[in-house]
Structures are given as C-alpha cells and as structure tokens.
Amino acid sequence: MITKDTALQNAKCIIIKVGSAVLTDENGLSFSVLKNLVGQIAKLHKMGKKICLVSSGAVAAGKKALGKDHKIEGLSGKQGAAAIGQGRLMHEYEVLFQEHGILCAQVLLTRDDLRSRERFLNAKNTFQQLLQWNVVPIVNENDTVVIHELKFGDNDALASLLCNIVEADLSVNLTSTEGVLAKNPLKHQQEPIEIMEYIDNIQDLNLDELCGGKTSVGTGGMYSKLLSARRSAQLGVPTFIIPGKKPDIILRALQGEKTGTWIYPTREPVSRRKYWLAYQSETQGTLTIDDGAYLALNEKGKSLLPAGITQVEGNFGTGALVAVVYQNQKIAVGLSNYSASELKKIKGLSRLEVAATLGNAHYPEVIHRDNLLLHAAI
C-alpha cells in the first residue's frame, strides 16, 4: 500500500471539497475563509498541482442577500436562495482568484448529467480542457433546477464522482470538525472522543454506528463525507478529511503536519467503468439472494444467475441499476439483464427452466460480473 507521505508528495490532481459549514459564519458567507481557501489553492496551483474545487455555499449566500425578512422554507425556498446566491458566490471566487492571476470556471452539474456514457465523456473532456488551460473549475450541484439531489450529502457524492471524471490522485474534504471522531458523539456525550488519525479499511467501517446527525448549515455531515471517501477509496483515491476553517490547513496537511483523518484507498481498485456504472444513478430495485449466490459473487467472482435470487422488489426495466441484498445488507449493485416482471417469473429457476419460461432469447446471467460492483457505497 502506498504511504500517506508518498501519496501527498505525488498528488498531481486534487479534488478539494468545501461545505457550507466551513464557508459560513453567523452572518453568512465568511470572506476570510474564502480568501484563505483561494490563497492556498493559488499556492498549490503555482506548485504545478491541478485543482478542482467542489464548493457549497450558494444557498447560504442567497440567504445572506435576502436578509432576515425572508424565510427560506422547503425545496423551492432552497432553490430560490441558490439561484440568488450562486452568482454572488462565483463573483467572490472570481475576484479572489484574479488577485493571484488565476482564472476560474463555474461548472454546474447534476447526477443526470453523468448518467449517459456520452454525457459523462463530454464532461470529462471539458474538465480536461479546463485543467490543461490551468483554469480552476469550481463545481456545484445545479441546485436551482435539480429535485432529488438537493438533499443529504449531494456535494460530497459529487466530489467522489469527480475523482473519476478528472482522474484525481487525492481528495481533500474540508470539514467544520477536527476530523473523524472515533465514536458517535451523540451516543458518547459525556466522554472525550479522540480523532481518528487514519482509517486503514473504510469498507469495514460501520458508518451508521459511527456517525449521527448532520450539520445545521449544509445538507451533509460526517456520514456523507465518509460515504464519499468509501467510494473514492474503491477507485484507488485516498481522502484527507481536515478542519477547513484553520488558516493554511491544506498546505500544512500536504506538508505532513499531523491533522485530520487520512483514509487509505483499497488495495485493489475497481475499473473506472465499473465505478461510473455503480454511482451514475440511483438503484431502481433490489434483488435478494441466497447463500449459494452470495458465495458465488463474494468469494468466486461469478455472475448472478436466476437460480440464486429469492426475492425481487421494485418496478424496473431491462438495463436498470439494481441493488443486490443478502441477509438484509446491500452487498453489490449492477445492471440487470431482465426487467422486474421477468425476474419475478424466473427467480430461483435453473437455466433450462428459464428457457422454458421465457423462450430461447434470454441471458444466462441476471447480472454479468463485468456489470457488477461488490461492496458498493450506497
């Protein structure tokens, strides 16, 4: 496994994600935090690092502009505030980056923009061009129009997807805490809790047990940051979760100062295609499997066959992304070769029985192993 020091030294393309809880104070957007963040990125930029910034703060900036006389309620209220605040947020970034002679570019994305392989590749080419021009892309969910994405953990999830798009070497997630706490603070309020210096195998971490609640200003919290880190780890990208409000914390952390929580990547990264496949859209249904199918998938790397399926839930079509469940735990996601209605007819059947039920024009596998990602972070 590559060491932390080596990963920090060799990182050429870095995703930096900053949330509303870091960017804001009691008066709205904090200019001092923004200025310090841009100054750090400028120094990294001059060192030859390619930086992609995922920034929240549009809703908070909109709230500040509206003032206390306007209540922000419901989805339409958040989207309205985002529409007002996005331009203001970008203006602040543009002015600050200009002081360092650096161009920045606004990129608004939703998960829908990445679902089709063609649109994904188009986005990839756009980011590559911006980075070749030494422009700093500033990315946010398109909060003004998106419906499903403006909720828990959206920009953290977006940061993990960008790791694939820009082929990042490192993901830095700036948080309002000192790092990842070793215990759930809601369950251990009366005792001191240490910060985890590193997480060796994030796939084995029980996020539900470790994390509780979410931050009050943004939409995420430590749960969404660790879920994002789990996804990035599957791609072979380490994550550094550090306290974002501290002066020059990114530079200090990259120079080896002991701070925050370092999350190691998995030893055997998945392919970029599988990564895109697993996280480009929400699952449309679930397939519950038996002991034999679990062994075949988890231990032998096989495809999922109809015989191993015990239950089908959801109303999905051929080619849909579905979750695979074993003993009430989601163990994988993959693309189904059959619709839900077809699977309900053939679940538990052998290949010959499937042929007798559906005719000869059928697939031997429900999910081929090339279209299956085990231990998906969903």
Identify the CATH number of the domain defined by range 282-374: 2.30.130.10
Sign of CA dihedral 299, 305, 308, 311: positive
Domain segments of the chain as ranges: 4-274, 282-374
Give the count of beta carbons closer than 10 Å to the beta carbon of residue 11. Answer: 20
Provide DSSP, 52-99: EEEE--HHHHHHHHH-TTS---HHHHHHHHHHHHHHHHHHHHHHHHHT
Q: Give the model's pLDDT for residue 378.
A: 75
CA distance 176 to 279: 26
155 neighbors 37 (Cβ within 8 angstroms)? no
316 neighbors 287 (Cβ within 8 angstroms)? no
Q: Give the model's pLDDT for residue 343.
A: 96
pLDDT, tens digit, for every residue of 89-104?
999 999 999 999 999 9
179 neighbors 241 (Cβ within 8 angstroms)? yes
Whether the pLDDT of residue 3 is over 50: the answer is yes
Given this structure, which CATH class describes domain 4-274? alpha beta
Q: Give the model's pLDDT for residue 151.
A: 45
pLDDT, tens digit, for every residue of 311-337?
999 999 999 999 999 999 999 999 999
Collapsed DSSP state (helix, strand, coil) of residue 328? coil
Tokens of 297: 């998938």
Q: Give the model's pLDDT for residue 145.
A: 58
pLDDT, tens digit, for every residue of 202-220?
988 888 778 764 444 444 5
Q: Give the mean model confidence (pLDDT) for residues 126-135.
A: 96
Burial 28-55 (b: 16+ CB within 10 A, else e): bbbeebbebbbbbbbebbeeebbbbbbb
